[in-house]
Amino acid sequence: MVLLTVLLLSACTPTTSDRAPAAYTTEEKVERAQALLRSAPTSGEERDTLLLEAGILFQEADYRPSALNAFGAIDPAQLPDPEYGRYTLHYAELALDTGDRATARALLTHPRITRLARQLARPERARWHEINGRLYSAPEESLAAARHYVAAAELADNAADQQRYHDRLWATLNLVPENELMRLSFEDPGSALAGWADLAIALHASSDSIDAQQQAFNQWRQRQPGHPASTRPPEALLSLERFARDMPRQVALLLPLSGPLADAGRAVRDGYLTAHYQALTQGGTPPSIRLYDTHNATDPADLYARATQAGAEVVVGPLQKGELAAIARQPHLPAPLLGLNRLGDDVEWLPHDSFYQFGLPPEEEARQVARRAWHDGQRTMLIIAPSSAWGERTATAFREEWQELGGRVVAAPRYHGNQGDYSDMVRPALGIDESAARHTRLERTLGRNVTFSLTPRPDIDAVLLLAQPTEARQIKPTLDFFFAGDLPVYATSQIYSGGRESVHNRDLDGIRFTVEPHSVAGLIAEPLRPDQDIPRNLWSLHSLGVDAFHLHQRLRQMRQNPTLSLPGNSGLLRIQESGVVERELPWAEFRGGQIRPLAPPES
């Protein structure tokens, strides 16, 4: 039956791939794989060896379902060591390609392969390290990935592979916290990894300006001329000089500086200027700035045109979605536009190579929460959300991502922010009423009192709680009261006020949530943090301004290389090929009323 399933799947259409054919054409690989399956016995070592060969051929032909089924049908205990090594490398790589990190982690951390890895041939050992580097791609595990990429580069037997490993290593080092980089630098000063750490520290210290980073890189190369990063620098560093030459000399900020949105506009402006002056103190040469008030502008596109005609080489803003769409609908954008919002499918606009969208959409956080909960092993979810536009948008984004991963939503009650008592919402959602009804029916059937513990429905693995701090401090104890205190609870950054309210936050103990870096001391540079006089609800916009300054000089560089990341005040930032700025937030949890960094997800 297993072989029949693989044969049937092998008739499916392949997914697209840019993998170059090796010995056979795609069609010949599939035909040979099918022939191997037909000739395979029903059991024994020969069966598993033929399944392995067929799976590799399907993988090279990009018949992924057939390859996955072939690898999945193998009993690895039946494979001799050399074949077991090939099985692990191919299967783990395919699992990562298809997003199955749990299978990849199980394969790559098995005691047998960790023992055999040292005995693999040199090219296979390099590939082993590369695949491990991909596995540990999460920011929390970036140090492990960096170690693997250094090892892979040392084992590379050609320039192209070494360049690829260096590029991935550099992208990974940008995720390693500075305290870890400092420790690496002192741990083994003469090692290649320590040299990479020194380079990352030097460029982090001058991150406010590309030209300052270029100078820091040149100075580092003079100190370490024989280091691999000097002899074969990552492409991102080779391009620094080119992008430094193209740095804009004038930037226009299009923001609401008067009217009802003035507070929001000024928060963005202040964040941008904070980063601007910080760059000056570090010896950089940031561009001059022209401010344009969008409040009284009848035509945002005309305001953009005026800014570019006055010499603006980059335009940052506007904040409002409608104003941003009005500019993006223009047939030509002479200067890059870094819009401070996201345009959805419901807004008409024209795609431009010089158009970038940078916002703080709650939907992005919701999708990140879904991925984290899935990697934590949750499969069924109760969603508790407010009946508000924010609640609906965020819950919908979570549900879509959750279901795409394969998860199931068992219930999704809504609440009103001012209702005070949440029992009438929580009790039926947890199935407590049904549990009580079963108790009553049982006593009637037996004709006597029965000791009975009310329990929540058993098909809930975890809870998504979308709430502001005040509501969350009432809903979480309500969950605990109705016997759901052991259920993991996930939330977005809105659940944390950022204040020192440890007594009140004890009611939130155990909740895991995404946290904006500006909310936690030590995660970002102190001079760039919002001033305490700024209202808490504007801190995110201040961080948006800080990050807009850092992004405006790296727009083309990061768009051309989506693996590059920028640790920002609002999260870890990357730019997609579409021009959308993605952000990934770190994780924390409430413990004893305090927030604690959350360990990396274990798949």
* pLDDT exceeds 50 at position 336: yes
* pLDDT exceeds 60 at position 443: no
Q: Are strands 512-514 and 587-591 parallel, antiparallel or unpaired?
A: antiparallel
* pLDDT exceeds 80 at position 299: yes
CB contact at 8 A, 558 and 575: yes
DSSP letters along 158-176, please?
SHHHHHHHHHHHHHHHTTS
Confidence of residue 434 (pLDDT cuts 50, 70, 90): low
- At the top level of CATH, which class does the domain 247-357+526-577 belong to? alpha beta
Q: What pTM does this model have? A: 0.75
Which residues, including other chains, have CB under 8 Å from residue 464's CB and lie 6 or more apart?
Answer: 369, 373, 381, 382, 383, 384, 385, 395, 398, 489, 490, 491
Taking every pair of C-alpha atoms in the chain, what is the biggest distance, in angstroms?
A: 89
Q: CA dist 101 to 215, 460, 513, 601, Å?
A: 39, 23, 21, 11
Better pLDDT: 329 or 427: 329
Q: CA dist 560 to 207, 289, 578, 579, Å?
A: 19, 26, 10, 10
* pLDDT exceeds 60 at position 197: yes
Phi-psi region of 311 (alpha: psi -120 to 50; beta: other; left: phi over 0): left
Q: How many CA atoms lie within 13 A of 574 on its CB side?
A: 15
Q: What is the pLDDT of residues 156-166, one digit of tens each?
A: 999 999 999 99
Which residues, including other chains, have CB under 8 Å from residue 517's CB and lie 6 or more apart?
Answer: 523, 524, 543, 567, 568, 569, 570, 571, 585, 586
Which residues, including other chains, have CB under 8 Å from residue 382's CB and lie 6 or more apart?
Answer: 409, 410, 411, 412, 429, 430, 460, 462, 463, 464, 487
Q: What is the pLDDT of residues 567-600, one digit of tens each?
A: 889 998 999 999 999 998 989 999 988 888 886 5
- Spatial CA neighbour of 186 closest among 166, 173, 201: 201
Q: Are strands 414-415 and 462-465 parallel, antiparallel or unpaired?
A: unpaired
Size (the chain), residues: 603
Q: CA dist 137 to 124, 131, 148, 247, Å?
A: 20, 10, 11, 30
**HEC readout, 463-478:** EEECCCHHHHHHHHHH
CB contact at 8 A, 533 and 540: no
CB atoms within 10 A of CB 557: 17
Q: What share of the chain has pLDDT > 70, as a percent?
A: 90
What is the pLDDT at residue 439?
A: 44
Q: Give span(s): CATH 3.40.50.2300, the chain.
A: 247-357+526-577, 363-515+588-597
Q: Is 506 exposed, middle or buried (0-12, 13-18, 19+ CB in 10 A)?
A: middle
* pLDDT exceeds 80 at position 5: no
* pLDDT exceeds 90 at position 462: yes
Confidence of residue 454 (pLDDT cuts 50, 70, 90): low
CB contact at 8 A, 491 and 464: yes
CB contact at 8 A, 432 and 439: no
- At the top level of CATH, which class does the domain 2-174 belong to? mainly alpha
CB contact at 8 A, 530 and 271: yes
The gap from C-alpha 288 to its chain's centroid, in whole angstroms, comes to 33
Which residues, including other chains, have CB under 8 Å from residue 324's CB and lie 6 or more apart?
Answer: 300, 317, 318, 339, 340, 341, 343, 357
CA 216/CA 185 separation, integer angstroms: 17
* pLDDT exceeds 80 at position 144: yes
CB contact at 8 A, 88 and 55: no
Q: What is the pLDDT of residues 49-107, one digit of tens each?
A: 999 999 999 999 999 999 999 999 999 999 999 999 999 999 999 999 998 888 999 99
CA 182/CA 119 separation, integer angstroms: 32
Q: What is the pLDDT of residues 576-585, one digit of tens each?
A: 999 999 998 9
CB contact at 8 A, 269 and 545: yes
- Spatial CA neighbour of 508 closest among 445, 591, 433, 391: 591
User: Position 533: which residue type?
Assistant: D
CB contact at 8 A, 579 and 339: no
* pLDDT exceeds 70 at position 29: yes
Q: Mean pLDDT score of the chain, rounded to an integer?
A: 87
Q: Give span(s): CATH 1.25.40, the chain.
A: 2-174
* pLDDT exceeds 60 at position 115: yes
Q: What share of the chain has pLDDT > 90, as a percent?
A: 57
> What does the DSSP 8-state code read for residue 580?
B
**CATH of the domain spanning 363-515+588-597, picked from 3.40.1390.40, 3.60.15.10, 3.40.50.300, 3.40.50.2300:** 3.40.50.2300
Of the listed ranges 23-27, 374-378, 436-440, 553-557, the least confidently predicted one is 436-440
Which parts of 468-600 are beta strand (E)?
Answer: 489-491, 512-514, 566-568, 571-575, 581-584, 587-591, 594-597
* pLDDT exceeds 80 at position 334: yes
Q: Mean pLDDT throughout 360-388?
A: 94
What is the pLDDT at residue 553?
A: 87
Q: What is the pLDDT of residues 533-578, one digit of tens each?
A: 788 889 999 999 999 999 998 898 889 888 788 888 999 899 999 9
CB atoms within 10 A of CB 32: 17
φ and ψ of 345, to 5 deg: -70, -15
| 573-576 own/partner pairs: CB under 8 Å, 24+ apart | 573/547, 575/356, 575/551
Q: Mean pLDDT throughout 120-148?
A: 91
CB atoms within 10 A of CB 392: 14
